[in-house]
Structures are given as C-alpha cells and as structure tokens.
Chains A and B, each alone.
Chain A
Amino acid sequence: MNRIKKRLQENKKILSIYFTAGFPQLDDTTSIIKSLENSGVDMIEIGLPFSDPLADGPTIQASSTQALKNGMTTDLLFTQLKSIRESVNIPLVIMGYFNPIFQYGVEEFCKKCQETGIDGLIIPDLPLEVYQDEYQTIFESYGLINIFLITPQTSTARIKQIDEASKGFIYMVSSASVTGGKNDFSEEQLAYFKKVKDMNLKTPQIVGFGISNKKTFNQATSYAHGAIIGSAFIKFLENKKDSVGEFILNFIKI
C-alpha cells in the first residue's frame, strides 16, 4: 500500500514538514530527511526548487533561489534520493511547480519517482482539470498520489469535486495568501476549518500555510487530520541554533 494512505489510516495527527531540496547546503537532502524521520515527523514534502515560485512567500522563494545557486537540479535530486528507501520508511512527497516537471518529461519524472520511492506529488500550478485530462493515467501507473489544494475561496461544489478526485489527502491552504508564517489564526480561518470538517469529506485534510508554532499546529489539527510546516522550518534551517529534533519537539511535545 502507498505509504501516504497507510500513514493516514493510523488515526493520529499528522505532522508534515516541507523543506527545499539543496538548501541550505546542496547535499543536505538525505540528512534532513533522516533526522526528520528520527525526530518523529509523519510525512515529508521535498521541495523541487523553481526560479519563479508563484505561490510562495519570501522565505521559500529565497530558499529556492539559494538551492538553485547551490546547483540543485531535478536529476541531482533523484541521484541524492537514490538509496533513501534503504534507510527511511516515512511517506515522501515531492512538491514542485509544473514547468521543471514538464521539461523533464512528465512520464520520465513519474518513473523516476517510483524508482526512488516517492509516494505522491504536489504541483500547485497543475490544475485539477488538466491533471485529469492529460496526466492522471500516467501518475497512477507509477503508483503516485496527486495532492490537490483547497483555499478559503474554494466553493463548496469545487471542494466536493476535489474530494472525489483525491486519493490521498487534501492540502487545505489556511488563508488567502502565499506561503509564510503568521502567528495566529483568525476567527474567519477557524470558521473555514470548521466548515470543511463539517462537510465530512471522504478524503482527510491536512492544513498548510501559516503553521508557525505549537499553537497554530494544535488549532489546525483540532479540525483537520494534520498540518504542514514549511516556512517556519526553512527559517530554522537558516539559523539552526537547535537540532532538528528540538525544533520538532517544539511542535509535538504536550
């Protein structure tokens, strides 16, 4: 069974961490993955850096620029991850923009993902309709789960449509914004979390964007099945005062 599905069945709140491959150092990829798994993280999103990340705020933009400067490429990422499944069992998702994947060749990319042991993909600028018309068969033939996003502006009808199309989890974007940490959720955001929870969708939801501390993590997971931390972890990697384990403990200790 796909590792994402298996993890989602384990009836626990999912802590998922995003990091940009090739940042801060080109060769950090595998050591970050290993220490995240050892620290008790439930799922990892590996960011494939892109020159023009439209949906990202300044923190992830800067990490992508740095990663590209360091020399990160799609081929190099697959090379770094070649033996990753010998040492970790955590679900791994690649998050990337569509153009680099399109240039690599969508089928070739999916094939490489399967060989490497990638479980799913998040491609923010590949819309549902284009995915279904042109790429779904390819993704599925390589055992990959494609993750769709919803936002506070997504209509109820479209949420249902996305729920139908989803095989793993729904990436629930917490607010109308690009990625980046805020310290608190507003009443409006909490109402949106509740609305989606009350829809009783078949697909579990994981909240992302703006999860920056234990409070926001707890708030999000009191409605949804998990939460994703991105910019806050990138900021931690920039300074790295503590170990990865200590950073993670800040979110999960009771």
Chain B
Amino acid sequence: MKNSYHIDEKGCYGEFGGAFVPEMLQPNLTELKEQYLNILEDDQFQEEFQDLLKQYVGRPTPLYYAKRLSETYGTKVYLKREDLCHTGAHKVNNTVGQILLAKRLGKKRIIAETGAGQHGVATATVCALMGLPCVIYMGAIDIERQAPNVARMKMLGATVIPAKSGSKTLKDATNEAIRDWISNPTDTHYIIGSVVGPHPYPDLVARLQSIISKEIKKQLLEVEGKENPDYVIACVGGGSNAAGAFYHFLEEENVKLLAVEAAGKGVDSGESAATSILGKTGIIHGSKTLLMQSKDGQITEPYSISAGLDYPGVGPLHAHLFKSKRADFVAITDEDAMKAGLQLSKLEGIIPAIETSHALALLEQKTFKEDDIVVINLSGRGDKDLQTYIDYFKY
C-alpha cells in the first residue's frame, strides 16, 4: 500500500496524532473538528485569506537564487524568503488563517503560546488587525531571551503572561495556554503556533502553511522549467514551516525532504532538543508523537540556543515522516547553526533567525551535486535574535 502522509479519519498520521485531551476540551475540539474543513474550503474564506496573504503579509514571498552561497557549496541553492513576510517569519500564514477561522466560529477572544515570540507577535498582529483581545503565554526564560518580541506584542495590544512552571519555555507556555482554554471554553479560540497539539490542529496548521510549497512549485517552474527540486530543507521546532515547505512534495517521492532539528550542545550532551533521535513515542499536548522523556514518562526539559526549536516534542506528521523514512532527520548544534547564520549574513546580506540557521547549516554537513536544486526554507529573519548573535560573536 502507498504510504499516506495525511490524517486518517481519527486524526492520525500512521501511529501518531489523535486527540488525547481531557473531557473539558472535547466540546471545543469537536466544534473545530466539525467545522474547519468546511470553513477552509469555503470560497469566501479563501478569497479573504488569499487577499490578506497578498496585501497584508506580502505574499508570494520570493524564491531567491542564492548565487554566492551556491558557488560556495557547488550546488544550486534557492531560499524561500519567508523572512520577508510581515512580522518576519512564516508564522503569520497560520495566524491570518486562524483569525479568519475564529471569526467564523464566532469567537471573541484569542489566546496563543509562543517560544521565540514570532508566533506571539504574529498572533498579536492579526488580533490588532481584527480588533480582538489577545493573551499570549510565553515561558519566563523566553521572555528574557526574546525581549524585542515581548515589546512588539505589547505595542500590538496583547497581554503577555509569563509561564513560570517547569522549564519555563515553550512547552510550559503551551500548558498554560491549554489551561486558559479549559477555563474559557466558549468565547475563546486557541491559535496554536505549530503543527502540534490535538487533532485537528496539526492538519489545520499544515494546510494554512502549505502555501509555502505551493508557491515553491510555481516559482521553480518559472525559473528552472520544473516544479520539483531535488531537496527541500527546513528546520523543525514543532514543525510548521517544515510542514508548509514539504506539503505539496510529500507524495513526490523523488523530492528528498530534510528536517533539521536542534542538537543544542550536542545530541548526547544532555542539553539538546533533537526529538527524533532522543525521543520515544508518548503523549504531549494532546498528541501521540515522538517526545523527549524520562524512562518514567516525565517530559524532559529540552535545550537549544534558539527558543523556537526548544520543544521536547515534534508534530505528529513529522513523527510519521521520520518513522516511515519519508524525510531524513538531521541534528545541528548551536555552534554550527551560529556559524551558518553568520555565513548567510556575509555571503548574501540576509541575517536569518537562529531557528533558520539550523537549516542553513546542512549545506556544510552534506554534499550536494552540482546540478541539484536545493530549496531551503528561510523561515524567519534574525532581528529578534540580534542580542543572542551579539553575545555569541562578542560584537
């Protein structure tokens, strides 16, 4: 049987996914599950969504042929410029779609979790656009290391609430957002920021991000005369930019998909976020997926220099891509990512987000053929990470 890379009727990708949530969340999720496809496929929704993506987000984003980077590595490197999206990362594709969805569901209040702050900013932005109140949960540690984004969210009118439990990062912010949703079950929509969480979120977010690969196909056809590259490379925190970049290539088995995770200080250092290597099947945030955990099933505190990759799980689609070997998973250390970020800045005049730098670092680690077409999803820009770059390179 041909492998399927989409959800089945139970919301599962192979053995992963589903909705392991307390009864308190069943009505919310049932409502969402029953309505999201109808809404997403509605003509009027699509019209509004496409219009906002074009006029507000600035899509289509360029597929930029990186000449000097290509020369350096002796292959053809294209960068999908999600960093040029309004707010500076791919995250806004999802929040624009979900805010339109929330309005059609009649919701009056928006909540979200954030790690790097990119999803928080993207959520606060669309809430300002639509005039809806917005509460963002963010780990206390991330609030410190992503200060500019915290300020942006506040300017946009959002309330930022620090998550002070556990590792005080993305996983804990997600717990707090889910608890808020339990306590506000009727008027609130939870805009989850990646392809994680209970069904139907992974599928919903993947569909909203799939515009990335749709554009890549069209743009490659224009410049290379064919729709399919040889490689698509993307970093994976929860996995939304990768899901979007892979989406329309999932069934094209000759397109090699490379998913890049954060090795932190090294996969075996005890300070890592390389979920596919270090994780086992388990339940996190309502989804059965690969998960970093102790032998006793307690969720492990991950580590990465990039807040957006500092998550102990991975979306169930990616767990499935890993298990079925449809995608290759590679882990990149802090050090190699930082070098790659600096290299892109010097060679192409583009300062990438540190998350994205992990994907870029693969050029150094893997050999590509001269006529290979390699598309790297440039998921975000580095403005939010300046302080981390400054501290690291001692500018």
Q: Is A126 an interface residue (CB 8 A)?
A: yes
Docked CA distance A101–B28 (Å): 26
Q: Is B389 an interface residue (CB 8 A)?
A: no
Total number of residue pairs linking A and B with CB closer than 8 Å: 105
Q: Which residues of A contact B166 (CB under 8 A)?
A: 51-52, 65
Q: Is A143 an interface residue (CB 8 A)?
A: no
8 contacts across the A-B interface (CB closer than 8 A): A51-B166, A54-B22, A54-B285, A97-B283, A103-B296, A127-B26, A151-B185, A153-B24
Q: Which of B185, B282, B283, B296 has the most CB of A within 10 A?
A: B296
Check A73 against B282 for contact (C-beta < 8 Å): no
Check B27 against A125 for contact (C-beta < 8 Å): no
Interface range, B side: 35 or more
Check A176 against B20 for contact (C-beta < 8 Å): no
Least CB distance from B101 to A in Å reads: 20
Q: Which residues of B contact A50 (CB under 8 A)?
A: 297-298
1/0 per residue, CB under 8 A from B, across A83-112: the answer is 000000000000001111111100000000
B residues 326-360 with Cβ under 8 Å of A?
Answer: none
Check B23 against A149 for contact (C-beta < 8 Å): yes
Partner of B286, one of A101, A125, A154, A158: A125
Check A155 against B27 for contact (C-beta < 8 Å): yes
Interface range, A side: 35 or more
Assess A149 versus B297: contact at CB under 8 Å? Given A55-B182, A61-B165, A178-B182: no
Partner of A51, one of B27, B178, B182, B298: B298
Interface on A for B, CB 8 Å cutoff? 50-52, 54-55, 57, 61, 65, 68, 73-75, 97-104, 124-128, 130, 148-151, 153-155, 158, 173, 176-178
Q: Which residues of A contact B172 (CB under 8 A)?
A: 52
Chain B binding surface, main DSSP class: mixed
Assess A149 versus B296: contact at CB under 8 Å? Given A52-B171, A52-B284: no
Check A99 against B297 for contact (C-beta < 8 Å): yes
Docked CA distance A128–B23 (Å): 9
Q: Is B321 an interface residue (CB 8 A)?
A: no
Assess A153 versus B298: contact at CB under 8 Å? Given A52-B166, A125-B20, A178-B179: no
Docked CA distance A101–B293 (Å): 13
| Further pairs besides A102-B283, A176-B183: 17, Cβ < 8 Å | A51-B166, A51-B299, A52-B166, A52-B175, A55-B179, A75-B296, A97-B283, A99-B282, A104-B296, A125-B22, A153-B26, A153-B185, A176-B24, A176-B182, A176-B185, A177-B182, A178-B182
Partner of B21, one of A51, A127, A150: A127
Top 9 A-B residue pairs of the complex, sorted by shortest distance between their CB atoms: A103-B297, A100-B297, A149-B23, A124-B22, A51-B298, A153-B27, A99-B283, A99-B297, A55-B22
Q: Which residues of A contact B291 (CB under 8 A)?
A: 99
Docked CA distance A98–B286 (Å): 10
